[in-house]
Structure 1
Amino acid sequence: MPKQITPEFSRIVKTDEQVAKKNKISIEANEKERVALAERFELVAINSLTAELTITTAGNGEVTLRGPLHADIVQRCVTTLEPVPELVDDEVEVLFSPHISEEDLPSNPDDLDDLSEEELMALLDQPEPLVDGKIDVGEVVSQYLAVAMNPYPRTDGAEMPDEAGAKDEVEERPNPFAKLAGLKEQLEKKN
């Protein structure tokens, strides 16, 4: 049986116990959770992480989780490794369905290799499984943060090294076999 992983920022909502069809919740990661998430995402720090979410339950049992998330994070510059602060604002929107099971979804990345583009797009549009009427809204917010933050943070003025220039430098180095070719020509002229 696979080992159960406990998310760093976990807020379980039991949708089957909700009285109203629409509920609003506010969640905020505490210091310990922010430190653990920063380690998970290889960040310098997460100074704040909050979300204001609306949970709406439809008559067919499907649940929509929607609302803004806000985070104040610090990453490392991809060129200088200096700290780069970033404010992340994103909109969470996920549909959960009790009619989808985890077995219906690919279990590892290799399962996606043989799928067509249309099949991949259909997977993206498919609802997430709603298991036992529970949603970990903290983990959902964490995943949205991971996708929303800048994948290539840079300090002001920092630029990526010019790879084309590096290739030119390699090509400009003398070819050690060029001397042998010249020596061969000289020997042939003498004969």
Structure 2
Amino acid sequence: MSDKFTPEFSRIVKTDEQVSAKEKLVIEANEKERAALAKRFELVSIDSLTAELTISTASNGEVTVRGPMNAEIVQNCVATLEPVPEVIEDTVEVLFSPHVSEEDLPSNPDDLEDLSEEELMALLDQPEPLVDGKIDVGEVVAQFLAVAMNPYPRKEDAELPTSVKTEEEAAEEKRPNPFAQLAGLKEQLEKKN
């Protein structure tokens, strides 16, 4: 993660200070955090965002963050741009490991181009880096929210207006029909004879 990025919904857990191997944590985004996340994800609003997480530390130092995440959001309809409310219920589940460093992960999308399907799947299964025993569980929840929301929200019965045409359709209409031109030429020749 870039050092310049400051998460809007940050809740740092210091796993090396955990009293037991398993702790429960309930987090909830406040109004300011929800507004900032809505701006980041280009939403009309986030009306609620909560998660009940269990943070489990294994003897090898790996940490699992797991639990239900609930949110109420409003997005714009892709067809009409009217507000579309959505209730999101998802399960957060991420494994963090002190044995993985950020250098082991691709730093930009171009690094993924030459990887085989097997290598990509292995990368997806790889734990996230656990740096200095700290996990920002707020940012983890925000990322799960981004993935769980409907990418194409549509209001019930919303349809694109029939007058909306693709650029190809508009160009096709402007292009003269060669058969119509031939028919017109044929009519002119028949009139002369």
Please give the TM-score of this superposition, normalised by the length of structure 2: 0.86
**Is 2:68 aligned against 1:73?**
no
Q: Deviations over 1:50-75 (max 9, x none)?
A: 00000000000000000000001000
Which residue number in structure 1 is paired with residue 35 of structure 2? 35
Q: Deviations over 1:125-178 (max 9, x none)?
A: 00000000000000000000000000100111013568xx75566545551767
Superposition map of 1:64-143 within 5 A: 64-143=64-143
The Cα of 1:4 is off from its aligned counterpart by 2.6
* CA distance in structure 2 between the aligned counterparts of 1:3 and 1:58, rounded to whole angstroms: 28
For structure 2, list consecutive stretches of 5 or more residues without a partner in the other structure: none
Counterpart of 2:94 in 1: which secondary structure?
strand
Q: Please tell me the residue identity of whatever aligns with 1:95.
A: L
* CA distance in structure 2 between the aligned counterparts of 1:112 and 1:181, rounded to whole angstroms: 55
Counterpart of 2:140 in 1: which secondary structure?
helix
Which residue number in structure 1 is paired with residue 60 of structure 2? 60
Please give the TM-score of this superposition, normalised by the length of structure 1: 0.87
Q: Please tell me the residue identity of whatever aligns with 1:175.
A: P
Counterpart of 1:32 in 2: which secondary structure?
helix
Runs of 4 or more above 4 Å deviation? 165-170, 176-183
Q: Please tell me the residue identity of whatever aligns with 1:149.
A: M
For structure 1, list consecutive stretches of 5 or more residues without a partner in the other structure: none
Which residue number in structure 2 is paired with residue 50 of structure 1? 50
Which residue number in structure 2 is paired with residue 4 of structure 1? 4
* CA distance in structure 2 between the aligned counterparts of 1:50 and 1:138, rounded to whole angstroms: 9
Q: Please tell me the residue identity of whatever aligns with 2:80.
A: T
2:55 and 2:64 in contact (8 A); partners too = yes
Pairs aligned (count): 184
2:80 and 2:160 in contact (8 A); partners too = no
User: Structure 1 pair 170/161, CA: closer, same or farther in 2 (3 Å)?
Assistant: farther
Counterpart of 1:151 in 2: which secondary structure?
coil
Counterpart of 2:103 in 1: which secondary structure?
helix
* CA distance in structure 2 between the aligned counterparts of 1:121 and 1:40, rounded to whole angstroms: 28
Q: Give the aligned CA root-mean-square deviation in angstroms.
A: 2.5
Identity %: 74
